[in-house]
Structure formats: C-alpha cells, structure tokens
Amino acid sequence: MSSEPAPVAEATPPEQSLEPPVKAASSGEAPEHRALVLTGFGGYEKVKVQTRRSGSPGPGELSVRVRACGLNFADVMMRQGLYDRLPSLPFCPGMECAGTVCTVGEEVRDRQVGDKVMILARTGLWQEVVNVPAVHTFLMPEGMSFEEAAALPVNYITAYMILFDFGNLRPNQSVLIHMAAGGVGTAAIQLCKTVENVTIFGTASASKHDSLKESGVAHPIDYRTMDYVEEVRKISPKGVDIVMDPLGGSDTSKAFHLLKPMGKVITYGVANLITGQKKNLMTMAKTWWNQFSINAIQLLHHNKAVCGYDLGNMDEEYELITGVVLKLINLYNEGKIKPKIDSVWSFDQVSLN
Ligand SMILES: NC(=O)c1ccc[n+]([C@@H]2O[C@H](COP(=O)([O-])OP(=O)(O)OC[C@H]3O[C@@H](n4cnc5c(N)ncnc54)[C@H](OP(=O)(O)O)[C@@H]3O)[C@@H](O)[C@H]2O)c1
C-alpha cells in the first residue's frame, strides 16, 4: 500500500495501437492477455500475473484495451479477505481502470472504437483487456491521462457524494477529513476548495503535513502522536459540521461527538481493520466491539445525522453515478480537481511471482 494518493498500475506500454495485446491464438480462440489475479487471501504474494482470454463483448458491452488501473484501499481489504460479496477465488480484483475501446458489442449506441474511457466495476479490472457493460464506462475528457482517469472514479465519486449529496457542504462550514493524504482524502480536499471559505481539518502522518497545507488543509493533525479530538476542539470548541469517517470502530463515535448541532458524520470505511499485510483477528474483534450504535430517539435529541456510504453497493445505480461523473468532468475541465498520481507500477512489478 502506498502512503500517497492513488497509485496506479500500467497494464500495457503507452503505445497508441487500439489492438488488444495478443499472444498467438489458435483459430477461433480469443487471444490471451495478462491479468493480475488474487490466488488466495493474505499478503502481497497472493497477487499473481496470469493469462486469460476474454472473447467478444456481449450485447450492451464493450471490449476495452486497458492502459492503467487504479489501486484502492478496498483492494487491500479484498486481498486480505475483508470485503463482502467477493467472487470465489481465484479472481481478478480491480475496481477502476482506463483504456481505449477496441470492440463495441451489439446494442451499444453511445460508444465507438477508439473512445478513451474510464471504467468503474466491483472487481475484475486489473487486466490488459476487459469486457464491461457500456453503462460502467465514462468518456475521458480531452487532456486527461490514462493514469489520471484510472485514479478518478472511486476516489472522486466517493468524496463528491459524501460531501455534497449526504454532507450538503455549504460556504463557511468545517470538515474533518481522515486519511487526508490518501486517494479519497485528496479528492475531498480539492472538492472542499470548490466551496467558499470551508475550513478543513485533516488527519495524516506528520511527513505529509506540508503537502496538505499547500492543498488547502488549514489544520493538519498527526493522529499518530496527538489526540485529534482534542486538537479539533482547541481550534473549534463547538466541533465541525461534517466528519468523513473511513476508520470505523471507536472513531465513528468520536466523529459523532465532534459534530456541531445539525452536523453530519458520513461513515464509509473500516480502515481500523487493517494493521498489517494480513488479517488480524484481535484487531477485527476490537473494531467490531467498538462499533458505534445509536437509536432513533437518541439521534433526535442530538440534532445530528449519521449516514453510511458504499459505492461498491451502487453497481446498479448507473444514472446516479453517471450524473456525478459528469459533474466531476466539468470540475476537471475547469481545473478545479486533478487526481494526484503517487507512482506507476507495471503488472510484473506488482506481482511477486
Ligand atoms: N465506501 C466507499 O464507497 C469507499 C470508497 C473509497 C474508499 N473508501 C474507504 O476510504 C478510506 C480511504 O481509502 P483510500 O483509497 O483513499 O486510502 P489510501 O489512498 O490507500 O490511503 C492510505 C493512507 O491512509 C492512512 N491510513 C489511516 N489509517 C490507516 C490504516 N489503518 N491502514 C493503512 N493506512 C491508513 C495512511 O496515511 P497516514 O499515515 O498519513 O495516515 C495511508 O498512507 C478506506 O477506509 C476505504 O475503504 C470507501
């Protein structure tokens, strides 16, 4: 896992051919391409490069030659077996990627060969060629690189919907962003900056504070050496308007109590489950034991909202998600958001075969 935002894997060298990378195929057989495959739950060694055949796209589908894939925190959780609704092993992970359309299936009217697209799916995108429903693809804007496009969907859709759909972020409000230097955190900071006079508190390791300040975080907090609740209260005794909670466990309760009246905590992850390369049963038990719960009457008395967000459970909500992506593309074109790429790795470097 990277300590910086949005690492991406490069599926194929950046030449411009629209043909999928092929290994000689016998007649009638689909050509082979490479895929990163999760062969078991556990550490990095469980991810292997293997070859696959994808065949022709079905009705409503596109075949896309993938040029870059995004790596998300959720992929790390998946590798450890800490994610729900996973396909049976072995399977190809990968929730986002970008590439060029090489074949258009029947019934697809709004995509053509050569279109550059970014793709969002629950799994299966860490491959050189993918067949995906056209409704899971979004046209890339002019000037966007494949690496940027592979780092945009998960991070920016998540941050946008949390801040604006659930959070209803408005001018002069304050937001606490945890994991502020990560992919979603970086997206959230850029999106907060599109609203006038928003005060951003961000937790991250100290080495990232200068970069966070440059990005617009007024109050970076080193949660590893400080009590972030105390630090926020020193600056803003009444608390904040919105807490983005990707941590879970006892941090959701802290988030709730840090809210001003009419404040909102949006919980969208359980990063506290991760303490190393492999799943840790003690950590899991502690995190679930400390899980926040509240009943409707208590909520009513507090004048606060608790929301839950999971992009992975919106795979059927094409129109909703497409609407968000169009807004994000407008913001990209206006120069207001831009994915930050930490590093680019080839498939061979990712796998320890
Ligand atoms: N619900 C959804 O739809 C959705 C969608 C996307 C992401 N998420 C969630 O959002 C969170 C952030 O995801 P991301 O992809 O932005 O993360 P990321 O880019 O992988 O960020 C990793 C950084 O987070 C910090 N961190 C804090 N606690 C950590 C922990 N227990 N283990 C490892 N790193 C930790 C570390 O930075 P510091 O050392 O600076 O703290 C680390 O470098 C995750 O909980 C993820 O599951 C949810």
Q: Which atom of ligand 1 is nearest to the CA of 155?
A: 6
b/e code 223-241 from CB counts within 10 Å (16+ = b): beeeebbebbeeebeebbb
Give the angle 256-153-106 at the CA atoms, nearest 5°: 135
How far away, in angstroms, is 48 Cα from ligand 1 center? 23
Q: Which atom of ligand 1 is nearest to the CA of 203?
A: 41
How far away, in angstroms, is 55 Cα from ligand 1 center? 35
Question: Is the Cβ atom of 249 under 6 angstroms away from ligand 1?
Answer: no
Question: Is the Cβ atom of 129 under 6 angstroms away from ligand 1?
Answer: no
Q: From the CB of residue 93, how many other CB atoms can be counted at a distance below 10 Å?
A: 25
* Upstream peptide bond of 153 is cis (omega within 30 degrees of 0): no
- Rounded CA-CA distance 248/288 in Å is 9
Residue 86: which residues within 8 A CB-CB, separation 6 or more? 78, 123
- Rounded CA-CA distance 66/94 in Å is 12
Question: Is the Cβ atom of 153 under 6 angstroms away from ligand 1?
Answer: no
Pull the structure tokens for residue 289. 């034991």
How far away, in angstroms, is 31 Cα from ligand 1 center? 37
Question: Residue 303 burial (CB < 10 Å; 0-12/13-18/19+)?
Answer: exposed
Pull the structure tokens for residue 194. 């599109």
Question: Is the Cβ atom of 273 under 6 angstroms away from ligand 1?
Answer: no
Q: Give the pTM.
A: 0.94
- Rounded CA-CA distance 344/9 in Å is 5
Rg value, the chain, Cα: 21
How far away, in angstroms, is 271 Cα from ligand 1 center? 6
CA dihedral of 284, 286, 289, 293, whole degrees rounded to 10: -90
3-state secondary structure of 110: coil
Pull the structure tokens for residue 245. 């909670």
Pull the structure tokens for residue 331. 């913001």
- Residues 265/308, Cβ–Cβ less than 8 Å: no
Nearest CA to ligand 1 atom 10: 246
Question: Is the Cβ atom of 183 under 6 angstroms away from ligand 1?
Answer: yes
Residue given tokens 């002019």 in the structure block: 142
Question: Is the Cβ atom of 206 under 6 angstroms away from ligand 1?
Answer: no
Q: From the CB of residue 168, how many other CB atoms can be counted at a distance below 10 Å?
A: 13
Q: Which atom of ligand 1 is nearest to the CA of 71?
A: 15
Give the angle 196-307-174 at the CA atoms, nearest 5°: 25
Question: Is the Cβ atom of 162 under 6 angstroms away from ligand 1?
Answer: no
| Mean pLDDT in consecutive groups of 10 residues from the start of the chain, 353 residues | 54 45 59 95 94 93 98 94 90 97 97 98 96 97 97 98 98 98 98 98 98 98 98 98 97 98 97 90 91 94 97 93 98 98 92 67
Q: Please report the pLDDT score of residue 5 as a whole number.
A: 55
Give the angle 39-45-48 at the CA atoms, nearest 5°: 50
Question: Is the Cβ atom of 158 under 6 angstroms away from ligand 1?
Answer: yes
How far away, in angstroms, is 179 Cα from ligand 1 center? 5
Q: Please report the pLDDT score of residue 18 as a whole number.
A: 41
Residue 19: closest CA among 68, 65, 55, 67: 65
> Which residues on neighbouring strands pair with residue 130, listed in sequence order?
64
